[in-house]
Structure 1
Amino acid sequence: MTKLARNIMVVDDSKAILVVMEAILNELEVPQVTTCLSAQEALDKVKQSPFLYDAVFTDLNMPEMDGMELIRLLGDIKYTGAIVIISEMDIKVIDLAADLAKKSNTHLIGNISKPVQLSQVHTLLKKLEHLAYHIEKPIEPISESQLLHAISHNEVTPYYQPKVNRHTNKVQSVEVLARIMTEKGDIILPERFICVAEELDLINLITFQLFEKATADFSELKNSLGYMFKLAFNLSPCQLEDLSCPDKLALILQLNNLTPNEIILEITEQHALCSNAQLETLNRLRIRGFDISLDDFGIGFTNVNQLKTLPFTEVKIDRTLISHIDTDQFSQVITSSLVNIAIQRDIVIVAEGIERIEELEYLDRFKEFILMQGFLICGPKAKQDFTRWAKSWLQMTNKSSRSQR
C-alpha cells in the first residue's frame, strides 16, 4: 500500500469487525495491525508507545468508554497520528465530531461505514499518507552550511502555482513557493530546508529573498495573463512572533512599487495560533491591508467555528480532505461547512492538492465559492514555464468562452 502506513490500530467491541478490518488492512499491505476490543485497552497501548501507531480506527458506540471519549483522551496525551471513525454517521454527527476532534487537538481524517469496504479503507490510508507528509520530519534535510551558502549566493528562487476561479476561468491569485536552485542546477524542495531555516532563525532571510524576487517578477507575470491577480506568500507561524514583521514586509513592497492589498500571506494551520504576539501580528498585517490565508486547513487544530473570530480572508482546504472527496462523505461535509462559512463571512475558500478529474468535477458544484489549485490544473513552475502556461491557459479559456456563446 504505502510505506507511511506502518502500524494501524483498530478499536471495536465486535470481534467480527476486528477480523474484517485486519483482513482488509493485510490485503492493503499494511505491515502491522493492532486490534483492541475496548477503548481503554487502546488508550493504554497508545500511552505505552505514543508514536508507534500511525492511525487509530475506532468505533463510536462501545461499552464503558465510547469512541468520542477515546478521541478526547488521545488529544489529552497529544497523540499525533490520524483518527478514523468506524461508524455510519449522519451529516450533523460528522460535523460535530470533526469540530470536537479539533478542540481536542486530534487529527480526525474521516469515517467509514459498516459493513466496511476495502475501497473505503484504501481511501483513508491515502489520506493518512497526505497527513504523514505534514507531521513527519523531512527526509535528509540540508546542512546549516548548505543553507547559508544558498542564502548568501541568492539561490532561493520563487516557483509559481495558480489558484483558479473555475466560475470565471481566471487566475485569482498565484502562490509563491520557495525552491533552492544550486550552482549545479539541482532543485531543493522546501521540505528539506524550511525546518532547518526555522531552527537556525534564518526563515526571515529566505522569506525576504523570495519576496524581493517574486515582487520583481510581478509585472511580467501580470502581462502574461493580461489582468490583475494577487501574489500569495507562505509565512511560518514562528515569524508571526516578530512584531516588526508587518513593517518589514511593507517596506519590501514599497521598494517594488506594490501595496499590501496585492498580497496574500498564507499561514500554515499545522501549529495552533495562540500567542498574543502571533495574534497581534495577524491583526496588524490585516490592518495594513494584507489578505491573510489559513493554509493546510484539516491537518491542524483550527475548527470551523474559530474562523468566525480570526482575521482570515482565505482558507485553504488541505489535500488530506480534498483527496477522493468525490466519494468521501466526511470530506464533503467539512467542505460544505466551510463554504457556508465563506458565504457568511466573505472568506475565499481554496481547494489545494487537486490531482484527479473526479475531485475537480465534484468541487465544481461549489465553483462560485471555491478556488481550485493542484497538479491537475498546474503544478509549481519557474517564472518562464509559468508564463508559458499562463498564455496557453488564456488561449484555452478564451476558446471555451467563444464556444459557449
Structure 2
Amino acid sequence: MQNSDRQEVIEDLLSKVDEGTPEVAQEIEQAHSLDDLALLLESLPVTDRVSFWEQLSPAIQLPVLAEMRADASEAIIRAVDEVRLHDLFAELDADTLLELQDVLTEPLLEEALGRMDTEQKQRYASAQQYADSEVGHWCDHQPLVVPAKTKVNVVLRLLRRVMPKYCDHVFVVDSRGVWVGAVPIHKLFGADGVLKISELVREQFPSLNAREDIYVSADKVASSEEVALPVLDDGGMLIGRLDLGTAYEMQAERAEAQIMATAGLDEDEDLFSPVMRSARNRALWLGINLMTAFLASWFIGLFEATLQQVVALAVLMPVVASMGGIAGSQTLTLIVRGLALGQISKSNLRPLLNKELQVGLLNGVLWAIVIGLIAGYWFNSWGLGMVIGAAIVANIISAALAGIFLPVILDKLKIDPALSGSVILTTVTDIVGFVAFLGLGTLFLL
C-alpha cells in the first residue's frame, strides 16, 4: 500500500468511527496484505485500532497481530476481552506464538501451548533452544526435505503435493537427519526415475549455523544467489531453512532499528503508546544529552573573559559546531552502514581513514575560506575570519576522525554505534569546535 493510499484509508476509517457508521474492515482486508493491515492498525489511535482489529476475520486476526510491532500488538491484547482472546488462541500455531510470546500474559502463553498438537509443541520447543537473536529461533522448520535413499520418481510425486514458497531445491538428509546436500528441482525433470536423490546432490551448497546471528544470516541469504539456505545445528542436523523473503524482512527490521536507535528509541515503539511509557523511554537519552551539553558549556565557560571582550565569537560559535556536527554525522553514517554490512575490517581501516581525512581536509579548507570571508566582511575583521576558518578546518578533520573511530570502538565494545554514536560525536565536535575557535580567538584577537 502506498503512503498516500494508506493516508486515505486511515482518514476514511477515522471518519466512519467518528460518525458511528459500520466499518469496512472486510473490504479493506480483502484488498490488502497482512503487512499493510498491520501498518494500518499501527497508524490508528488505540481505541480505533482495537475496534478495527475486532472487525477483521478471526482467521487473520492473530496473523495481523504477529506482523505488528510489539508495543502496538500489546495494546490490542490488553484491550480485548480475555474470553475472546482465549477463543482465538485455541488454534495458535508455533510460528505465530513465537512472534507474540513477548506480549502475551503467562496464562495465555500456557493455554496456547497446552492446546497445540505434538508437532507444533516440538516446533516451539526447538525454537526455544536458541536465543531470539539466533537464526535457529526464527528459521522455517518445514523445508522440502527427503532422505538420501529416496528415488527421483517418489520426490516428483511429493513435489506435486507440496511446494513451499521460495523453494527451488530439495534438501537431502541421511537416515539420522544429518545434512547431505541440495538438489535443484529442475534437475529432477528428465532424470531417471529410479535414481536415488543423493546421486543428484549439488556439491558445496552453502549453509547457516543455527547459533549464527539472525541479521548476519539474513545478509548471507541475500548475497548467496539462492532463494533459501539450510540451517544446521552444531552436529550438522538440518533443523530448517532461512528463505529470501524472511531475510529481506530481517534486513528491513535492522534498518528500522538503526534509524530509531539514532534518536534513542526502540524499534517497537508504538506511534500511540501511553504517554508515561513514551516519556520514560525517551527520558534516558534526554538526560545523557543534557550531561554532554553541560560538558560543552563548561568548556565554553573557560573562555568567559574572551567572550566578554569579543562578542562576535559568541555570535559565530554555532557555525563552527554545526559544520563539525554535520561533517561527523556523514562519516559516522557511512561507517555504521559499513559495519552493519560487514565491510569494515582491520585491513581496510587505514585506507578508509586516509580517504576520510582527505575528504575532511578538502571540505574544511573550502568552507573555511567561504565562512572566513563572510565572517571577516560581516564583522569588518579579517583576523576574525582567519580564526573561524582555522577552527572550521580543525573541527571538520576531528569530526572525520571521530566519525570513523567512534563506531569502530563502540562496535568492539558490543555497544550499538547507531544508538550512542551520534550523541558522543556531537559532544566531540562541539568541544573541539568551541575550544579551537575560542582558543584561537584568545590568542590572536585579544
Using the size of structure 1 for normalisation, the TM-score is 0.27
Greater percentage in helix: 2
Q: What TM-score results when the alignment is normalised by the length of structure 2?
A: 0.25
Bigger CA radius of gyration: 2
